[in-house]
Structure 1
Amino acid sequence: MHRLTTRHPHAHAQPREPHQALTAARTEQKTETWQAEYALRAGIEGTVNQALDVTGIRWARYRGLPKARLQHAFSATALNVIRLDAHWSAEGTPPALSRTSRLTRLSYRLTA
């Protein structure tokens, strides 16, 4: 095992260019534009993570592209059913008060 012989083994300086890039990235992350874009990404990553956890979609169970596509289609269907169940059984939110589609809103305008 190699030991550090310096006086302060935890004190080290980064080269200037990587440090400036890191500082610039951290500054950019504080802007509203970056946070709005990251919020979209966080939603997508949540969906991907749910697909990995629930369906094990990372590895195909069968060989061949047609069977892998079929597995992905079934996995996506299963995720949609799980999400619909969570939406319909959400406590405190009756289904009638949930979000309405554009078509429904348009029909309200046409009948009024």
Structure 2
Amino acid sequence: MQVEEPINIFLSHDWLVGITDCGDWKELVWEKPDFKQEVQERSLGSKPVAQLLEKLKPPYWFSAHLHCKFAARVQHGEDGSVANFLALDNYLAGRKFLQLVC
């Protein structure tokens, strides 16, 4: 929370709490049924990480931890900027572990 200068890319291990509201949570729950209750309760992810997103507003945010691919777009309030969130799967054959971002 002490960072002041603009950040373009942010990497975190944990997902942001509430990030599933900004992406295809139905696809996520289909792929990972164990997440359903946490998605419904809005408890999946980290509150402190969500606070960082709110403060820093980077255009790109990449996470890991939950071992599945999930993309979301977070619209920031007053300034209209967008954060593009992407989590990728494990590095294993047949998994969605790589994506090009242009």
TM-score normalized with structure 1 length: 0.21
TM-score normalized with structure 2 length: 0.23
Which one has the bigger strand percentage?
2
Greater Rg by CA: 1
Larger relative contact order (C-alpha < 8 A, sep ≥ 6)?
2
Which one has the bigger helix percentage?
1
